[in-house]
Structure 1
Amino acid sequence: MRDLRIVFMGTPDFAVTILKKLVENNYNIVGVITAPDKPAGRGRKLNESAVKKYAVNQGLKVLQPKNLKAESFTDELKDLKANLQIVVAFRMLPTVVWKMPEYGTFNLHASLLPEYRGAAPINWAIINGETKTGVTTFFIDDKIDTGEIILQKEIDIAPHEIVGELHDKLMVLGADLVVETVDLIASDKVKTKKQPELEEKSAPKLFPHNCKIDWFKPLDDIYNHIRGLNPYPAAWTTILNGEDEISAKIYGVSKQKENHNIEIGTILTTKKEIKVAAKDGFLIIDEIKISGKKKLDAVSLLNGFTFEEKARAL
């Protein structure tokens, strides 16, 4: 068996679960690389990454480079004498970093590569109505998410599953896959395969423009778009309510297939229900956050907010 000295690189909660699994399985983590602390909130207090908080609590050595190419950082990295690097939800690494360890640098990606390369694979799998996804470990190369595949595990996506739920399932599945991958590397039994040359579906970063709801799309597409962004970063729309234009984030929804002649985007309400007309039915809003208000269920919102007769989602 190889005597592994591991450097772990990651930042968000997703990465913490994987690091925790490695620590609990007594792997030798000689260093943790994570994002620099960032000022947040009104007081601009420095906010530590989820990975840093966990690593410090475990007494692990933490490095927080601003520049991954800086000689000061690469010298510190060399001093750790790692022979394997593991990357989970981190930045793109320069060649000098990913080529450093003897046994390579591998990444955990939350999709079945080559599909959904990019920053937001879990969101886009649901947005595009996929029924399956998974996790992949692969050795990093000089492009994004293109290296040779080590292992993959597949999981079903339930018809009403939201991205928050799928994220948590993939986090656990990914932790198991990383441990399997490390064990293969430790025993020198890795057999990789090249990624197929498919016209893969991509997973670009999420911005306000691609989180906005297009009410002219089919009802199923709108429904998938919203659950693929729930709870974060959340799908949004503009509501024209009388003379007011209001921004609203939409979370929990259900759908009602029905032929109708109501103008697309029209908002219909009762004392207990909010629904929006789409081309082949209605989207029923169960949970919504109107700008300046708390996130509320439909009944609670309707108790204190009135939609005008010709209110529309734009």
Structure 2
Amino acid sequence: MKDLRIVFMGTPDFAVTILKKLIEDKYNVVGVITAPDKPAGRGRKLNQSAVKKYALTQDLPILQPTNLKSEDFLAELKALNADLQIVVAFRMLPTVVWKMPKEGTFNLHASLLPEYRGAAPINWAIINGETKTGVTTFFIDDKIDTGEIILKSEIEIKEDEIVGELHDRLMYLGADLVTKTVDLISSGEVKTTKQPELEKKAAPKLFPHNCKVDWTKPVSEIYNHIRGLNPYPAAWTNIKNGENEISAKIYGVDKEFSDHNLKVGTIVTSKKELKVAVKDGYLIINEIKLSGKKMLDIPSLLNGYTFEKDAIML
């Protein structure tokens, strides 16, 4: 059952866990496709993708195309003679690539499709207050995350779970689902389910504008928004403190429901607590990173930083 020649395509840590599971379970991975090395840091030193770093430790053939339609890349890919391609957190593939193997190309997506098609499904599931999510394998077609579904696996989202924690749980769940999917395909017993064309809830890419905290929203929505971006890319806000205005990233939070007469965004502090007034209570901030500073818990921050009486989050 594990004789299929597999080409694996992926880039970040999430994909490494799936590739590692395939290697450790003795699947026949004959090549890895990942992103080109990119300059990073002050020295602009070339940085390898997480998948490349792992593939090198396993002596796997590695291709790093800048153009997925280039004749040279297509010739190298064809030479790997793959029966099956597996895609995890990679780029959109041209038709000539995903149609190449005889058994097709399938993708692992971190949502219960057709919900949360797009670039940031784990984040948006938490941001939108979902209580469950999961992973889906599907055969790639010519659109994004719309192909026929092979398998799904579901888990609950904990009420206080942050996206970093959920990411890791889905990563391991996904690794198991990928190997089950390969086994189905290799046995010739795979059956697929067509997705409905209409998109229900989307998972668009995260940009600064949709990571900014909207303090006019109910406390539960703000709480979900912040934990859905913790630790990356992190929710942010502007703070007006006296004559100064700075930006800050917010990490650990709690919520408090109560009545008050304070203006939305008003900062309330004590010796060890910082909370922000919203329309139905307070958002309690436990960890924050002021612009140009390191992340601190609130007692540490308040030990060296003072908020004026009229300080407000904008």
Inter-partner Cα distance in structure 2 for 1:77 and 1:111: 29
Deviation at 1:199, TM superposition (A): 4.1
* 2:293 aligned residue: 293
Matched, 1:40 2:67: no
CA contact (8 A) 1:34 1:49 kept: yes
* 2:159 aligned residue: 159
* 1:106 aligned residue: 106
* 1:97 aligned residue: 97
* 2:275 aligned residue: 275
The one-letter code sitting in structure 2 at the alignment partner of 1:277 is: A
Render the CA deviation track for 1:264-284: whole Å, top value 9, x for unaligned. Answer: 000010110000000100000
Inter-partner Cα distance in structure 2 for 1:20 and 1:145: 24
* 2:79 aligned residue: 79
Matched, 1:305 2:305: yes
3-state secondary structure, aligned to 2:226: helix
CA contact (8 A) 1:2 1:187 kept: no
CA contact (8 A) 2:242 2:308 kept: yes
> For residues 116-131 of structure 1, what are the structure 2 equivalents within 5 Å?
116-131=116-131
The one-letter code sitting in structure 2 at the alignment partner of 1:248 is: A
Instruction: Give me the identity figure in percent.
Output: 78
Render the CA deviation track for 1:217-256: whole Å, top value 9, x for unaligned. Answer: 1110000000000000000000001111100000000000
The one-letter code sitting in structure 2 at the alignment partner of 1:175 is: A
Inter-partner Cα distance in structure 2 for 1:198 and 1:79: 38
Matched, 1:15 2:15: yes
Inter-partner Cα distance in structure 2 for 1:75 and 1:256: 60
Runs of 4+, deviation exceeding 2 Å: 196-199
The one-letter code sitting in structure 1 at the alignment partner of 2:155 is: I
Deviation at 1:305, TM superposition (A): 0.5
Inter-partner Cα distance in structure 2 for 1:240 and 1:88: 42
Deviation at 1:200, TM superposition (A): 1.0
* 2:253 aligned residue: 253
CA contact (8 A) 2:2 2:27 kept: no
Deviation at 1:292, TM superposition (A): 1.1
3-state secondary structure, aligned to 2:282: strand
Structure 2: segments with no counterpart, 5+ residues: none
Render the CA deviation track for 1:98-150: whole Å, top value 9, x for unaligned. Answer: 00000000000000000000000000000000000000000000000000000
Question: TM-score under structure 1 normalisation?
Answer: 0.99
Inter-partner Cα distance in structure 2 for 1:166 and 1:254: 18
The one-letter code sitting in structure 2 at the alignment partner of 1:266 is: T
CA contact (8 A) 1:34 1:90 kept: yes
* 1:193 aligned residue: 193
CA contact (8 A) 2:267 2:312 kept: yes
How many residues align structurally? 314
Question: TM-score under structure 2 normalisation?
Answer: 0.99
3-state secondary structure, aligned to 1:145: coil
Structure 1: segments with no counterpart, 5+ residues: none
Inter-partner Cα distance in structure 2 for 1:163 and 1:62: 30
Inter-partner Cα distance in structure 2 for 1:83 and 1:150: 17
* 1:55 aligned residue: 55
Inter-partner Cα distance in structure 1 for 2:119 and 2:176: 21
CA contact (8 A) 1:31 1:61 kept: yes
Deviation at 1:3, TM superposition (A): 3.3
Inter-partner Cα distance in structure 1 for 2:134 and 2:172: 11
Deviation at 1:198, TM superposition (A): 4.4
* 2:182 aligned residue: 182
User: How well do the aligned residues superpose, as a CA RMSD in angstroms?
Assistant: 0.8
3-state secondary structure, aligned to 2:214: coil
